């Protein structure tokens, strides 16, 4: 490990590595960026090529408000030395003062599930219409205080009887609307409350522990390939109670168009997170229970894991 080298050797090798990286970029060759940003109890940490760089006192809000986050981080880590491994137990949700918003009914599977749950309330038609409408469904989802990081606990409402996780690709967006990264989101939902009346949506969606984000942010403005899979696994007492997956090719809306709609007459000085909707819905007989472990994996980003309190 580089850390074990003598100080001078270390400085030399780091500056050689930095020069090599700059030379690589100057040749104009395309190199897939694999930069990830984590927020930990020790501060923000950047991962690139299995090396971890502690950003010291740089706050997450400073980073997420930047229009040039991918370029800024790539350049910045060339000026500092790697700092060892990422402390897994201390990973926090990668959020500061940003609002978390969410899109709904963006997958055919979600449309069908909502129509079914709301049919007795006469709400089925709304979901069908919003699925094919030009304007997407966008709703306020969470703030930092209601959001768990990977390893933290999510909650089910005490007055709900049918609760599910919703695993969603989540966009990290700058104040001016540039997608600067991707993370994994869990849009915890109370389906009985949502299905009773569409006007109850905020209560079904926004409560303490109703959201999880993480483990970190894949810092890139490049769209993820359509073949990218979102995988969900729910473990109960050591057994897999439910598992499912969906490919991003099933996402009906273009992420950029979701961002464009959210920014209409709305400003986000700290940037924002935008969940892109769920395409994985457990069967109607399934409801979450205390102690369940929810694992959501999106390969290029990582795995978001939370226990239900
Ligand atoms: O309108 C209901 C919420 C839809 C949602 O959260 C989703 O499709 O992911
Ligand atoms: Mg959702």
| Ligand at shortest distance from the CA of 139 | 1
| Ligand 1 pocket check for 187: Cβ under 6 Å | yes
| Ligand 1 pocket check for 146: Cβ under 6 Å | no
- pLDDT mean over 238-267: 98
Q: Confidence band (pLDDT; 50, 70, 90) for 88?
A: low
Nearest CA to ligand 1 atom 7: 104
Pocket test for ligand 1, best of 108, 114, 129 (most atoms within 8 A of CB): 114
* Residue 290 φ/ψ region, left for φ over 0, alpha for ψ in the -120 to 50 degree band, beta for the rest: beta
Ligand 2 centroid – CA 293 distance (Å):
18
Rounded CA separation 279/251 (Å): 8
Between 136 and 128, residue with greater pLDDT? 136
Q: Is 60 helix (H, G, I), strand (E, B) or coil?
A: helix
| Ligand 1 pocket check for 104: Cβ under 6 Å | yes
pLDDT in tens, 194-246: 999 999 999 999 999 999 999 999 999 999 999 999 999 999 999 999 999 99
Ligand 2 centroid – CA 221 distance (Å):
22
- pLDDT mean over 23-33: 42
| Ligand 1 pocket check for 201: Cβ under 6 Å | yes
Nearest CA to ligand 1 atom 3: 104
Flag whether pLDDT at 26 surpasses 60: no
- Mean residue pLDDT across the chain: 89
Flag whether pLDDT at 13 surpasses 70: no
Here the tokens at position 252 are 């009906």
Flag whether pLDDT at 273 surpasses 90: yes
Q: Give the range among 39-43, 92-96, 166-170, 301-305 with minimum mean pLDDT.
A: 39-43
Flag whether pLDDT at 14 surpasses 80: no
| Ligand 1 pocket check for 114: Cβ under 6 Å | yes
Contacts of 238 (CB under 8 A, 6+ apart): none
Q: Which atom of ligand 1 is nearest to the CA of 137?
A: 1
Flag whether pLDDT at 24 surpasses 70: no
Report pLDDT for 15: 41
**What letter would DSSP give residue 224?**
P
Q: Which atom of ligand 1 is nearest to the CA of 189?
A: 6
| Ligand 1 pocket check for 166: Cβ under 6 Å | yes
Determine the distance from the C-alpha atom of residue 219 to the mean position of all C-alpha atoms in its chain, rounded to a whole number.
12
- pLDDT mean over 162-184: 98
| Ligand 1 pocket check for 274: Cβ under 6 Å | no
Rounded CA separation 136/144 (Å): 24
| Ligand at shortest distance from the CA of 115 | 1
Flag whether pLDDT at 302 surpasses 70: yes
User: Which fold is adopted by the domain 99-308?
Assistant: Fumarylacetoacetate hydrolase; domain 2 (3.90.850)
Contact indicator for 251, 279 with CB cutoff of 8 Å? yes
Pocket test for ligand 1, best of 100, 103, 210, 274 (most atoms within 8 A of CB): 103
Q: Which atom of ligand 1 is nearest to the CA of 277?
A: 9
Report pLDDT for 90: 76
Ligand 1 centroid – CA 102 distance (Å):
8
Flag whether pLDDT at 2 surpasses 50: no
| Ligand 1 pocket check for 137: Cβ under 6 Å | yes
| Ligand 1 pocket check for 105: Cβ under 6 Å | yes
C-alpha distance across the termini of the chain, in Å: 39
Place of tokens 């709904």: 104
Q: Is 236 helix (H, G, I), strand (E, B) or coil?
A: strand
Report pLDDT for 257: 98
215: preceding bond cis by omega (within 30 degrees): yes
């Amino acid at each position: 490990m580089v850390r074990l080298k003598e100080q001078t050797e270390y400085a030399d090798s780091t500056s050689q590595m930095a020069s090599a990286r700059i030379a690589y970029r100057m040749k104009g060759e395309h190199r897939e960026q694999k930069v990830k940003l984590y927020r930990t109890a020790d501060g923000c940490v950047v991962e690139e090529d299995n090396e971890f760089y502690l950003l010291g006192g740089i706050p997450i809000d400073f980073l997420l408000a930047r229009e040039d986050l991918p370029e800024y981080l790539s350049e910045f880590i060339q000026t500092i030395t790697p700092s060892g491994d990422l402390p897994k137990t201390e990973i926090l949700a990668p959020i500061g003062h940003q609002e978390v918003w969410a899109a709904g009914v963006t997958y055919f599977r979600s449309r069908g599930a909502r129509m079914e749950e709301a049919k007795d309330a006469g709400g089925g038609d709304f979901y069908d219409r919003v699925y094919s409408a030009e304007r997407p469904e966008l709703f306020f989802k969470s703030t930092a205080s209601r959001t768990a990081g990977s390893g933290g606990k999510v909650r089910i409402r005490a007055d709900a009887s049918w609760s599910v996780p919703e695993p969603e690709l989540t966009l990290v967006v700058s104040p001016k609307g540039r997608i600067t990264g991707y993370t994994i989101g869990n849009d915890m939902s109370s389906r009985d409350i949502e299905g009773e009346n569409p006007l109850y949506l905020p209560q079904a969606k926004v409560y303490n522990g109703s959201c999880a984000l993480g483990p970190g942010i894949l810092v890139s403005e490049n769209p993820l390939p359509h073949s990218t899979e979102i995988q969900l696994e729910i473990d109960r007492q050591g057994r897999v109670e439910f598992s499912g997956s969906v490919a991003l090719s099933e996402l009906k809306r273009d992420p950029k168009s979701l961002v464009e709609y959210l920014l209409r007459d709305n400003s986000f000085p700290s940037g924002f997170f935008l969940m892109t909707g769920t395409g994985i819905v457990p069967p109607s007989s399934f409801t979450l229970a205390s102690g369940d472990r929810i694992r959501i994996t999106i390969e290029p980003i990582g795995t978001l894991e939370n226990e239900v309190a």
